[in-house]
Copies of this chain bind each other. A is one copy, B any other.
Amino acid sequence: MSAADLAPLVTLALRCADAAGAVARKHYRTPVAVDVKADTSPVTIADREVESAIRAILTAERPQDGILGEEHGSRDLNAEYVWVIDPIDGTKSFITGRPLFTTLIALLHRGVPVLGIIDQPVIGDRWLGVAGQATTLNGNPIRTRLCPDPAMATQAATMPFPHPEFRQTEAASRYMVWGGDAYAFGLLAAGFIDLMVEAGLQPYDWAALVAVIEGAGGVITDWEGQPLRLGTNGNVVAAGDPSLHAKILQTIRPRL
């Protein structure tokens, strides 16, 4: 896809992020009822209203496209373009008043992520990744940092995953920063974190991360080194330095 093809889609995605942020800010640090989903994860009216706001815009402007959202289901996943939405990534951060939750908006073209937004609407941190272009944070181009040595890496993780592959990378890293979600992947793209190893992510968790990280010089794949596509098991490894990514894969693949 050319930059000219993508430009109107980027504009539309940014409009969706603006609408999402207005809804999320309205509910932030207010007492919200927390429901529990079938997978035991929490969900609030903010998750549902933010996704509805985004879907309303997309349905009006791009009725021919597919949509995969965390809260309101899927439609037309075989369309040429599919939007992937996580209205509130980091719902536990949201309900505890931590301004690290984000809205994630991604676009797949024939299954390949070509656009990703990570938006934190309280602080006003917005990452924009577009295939073939330099990723920006709040409009400024960003780059990942060099860190070829796992023993020098700062690793972030949303939680202590029980998988032996994760435990191994945790033990080998210099520093662990806990409580990650997509915001930490954004910080990896910006050169402040070197490594993330996460397990069981859903498409709406990872779809927006791909263009953001790749456009900043980083690498994000599954644990076998394969590109992230619908159907993946959601075990994800991301590194700012491609040589670090390759070393981590060598370490954890013998276990698979």
* Interface set of A (CB-CB < 8 Å, partner B): 29, 42, 92-93, 95-100, 122-123, 154, 156-160, 175-180, 183-184, 187, 190, 192-193
Once the chains are docked, how many angstroms separate the CA of A180 from the CA of B96?
A: 11
List 16 A–B pairs whose Cβ atoms lie within 8 Å, in order of A's numbering. A29-B192, A92-B154, A92-B177, A95-B154, A96-B154, A96-B192, A97-B187, A97-B190, A97-B192, A98-B187, A99-B123, A158-B178, A159-B176, A160-B178, A178-B178, A178-B179
Instruction: Give Cα A96–Cα B175 distance, bound, in whole angstroms.
Output: 10
Check A177–B97 contact: CB distance below 8 A: no
Oligomeric state, in copies: 2
What residues on B are CB-neighbors of A100 within 8 Å?
Answer: 98, 100
**Which of A92, A97, A184 has the most CB atoms of chain B within a 10 A radius of its CB?**
A97
In the assembled complex, the CB of A213 is this many whole angstroms from the nearest CB of chain B, namely 15
Q: Report the minimum CB–CB distance from A122 to chain B (whole Å).
A: 8
